[in-house]
Amino acid sequence: MISILEGKVELKTEKFAIVKTNGIGFKVFCPEKVLQNLCDNKKIRLFTYLYVKEGVLDLYGFLSYEQLELFQLLISVRGVGPKAGLGILSSASVKEIKASIASGQVALLTKVAGIGRKLAERAILELRGKILATGSDVKKLTEDNDAIEALISLGYSFSQAKEALSKVSLDIKDTEEKVKQALKVLGKYK
């Protein structure tokens, strides 16, 4: 199995990168956040997972071993395939995903295409005992969850809501005030 891949990024698309090492180009599917960090003709090092199923050999790459481990846990859940696993890792940080699973919150997982409420609940049930998340990570996720839901109901995407809330002062604890500040960040509230 290929565990680590080092080489130059020859090509980068929205879904994958081609990494050339020793004259061979490997097509590596990566989460969006990983692809954003890759630059053409720059040397990189990826932790990889080789997915083998019914004649398909796909290589998945991650910048950290922690991302790789979480990906492997996610795809161990029946119904969560590699594309959904990448989608989950593209939607939030490893800490946020772990906190979501540890606290039993399905909202983050259901934002990913192909993952409905039942599948998210099954994933949480199967992974809850396997994932360690700190209390502060869970608390932060819980505090932001209501504000994220409010912003989504106003028509913003999950990623837009998360991004805007990340720019709100940590001193603000009230959900209503968080939403107001996030809307200011989004430029819609004066």
The pLDDT, as a whole number, for residue 80 is 93
**Entry pTM:** 0.72
The pLDDT, as a whole number, for residue 50 is 95
The pLDDT, as a whole number, for residue 49 is 96
Structure tokens at 126: 């199967």
The pLDDT, as a whole number, for residue 138 is 53
The pLDDT, as a whole number, for residue 15 is 93
pLDDT by residue, tens only, the chain of 190 residues? 789 999 999 999 999 999 999 999 999 999 998 898 888 889 999 999 999 988 889 999 999 999 999 999 999 999 999 999 999 999 888 888 888 888 888 888 888 888 899 999 999 998 887 876 555 555 565 567 777 778 878 888 777 877 787 788 877 777 788 888 888 888 755 4
The pLDDT, as a whole number, for residue 190 is 44
Based on its alpha-carbon atoms, the radius of gyration of the chain, rounded to whole angstroms, reads 18
Q: For the domain covering 64-133, report its CATH number.
A: 1.10.150.20
The pLDDT, as a whole number, for residue 72 is 95
DSSP state of 50: E
Q: Which CATH architecture has domain 1-63?
A: Beta Barrel (2.40)
The pLDDT, as a whole number, for residue 132 is 64
Cα separation, 8 vs 21, whole angstroms: 7
pLDDT digits (tens, 9 = 90+) for 17-59: 999 999 999 999 999 988 988 888 899 999 999 999 888 899 9
CA–chain centroid gap for 56, Å, is 24
Those residues with Cβ within 8 angstroms of residue 140's Cβ, 6 or more apart along the chain or in another chain: 99
Cα separation, 108 vs 122, whole angstroms: 14
DSSP 95-123: HHHHHHHHHT--HHHHTSTT--HHHHHHH
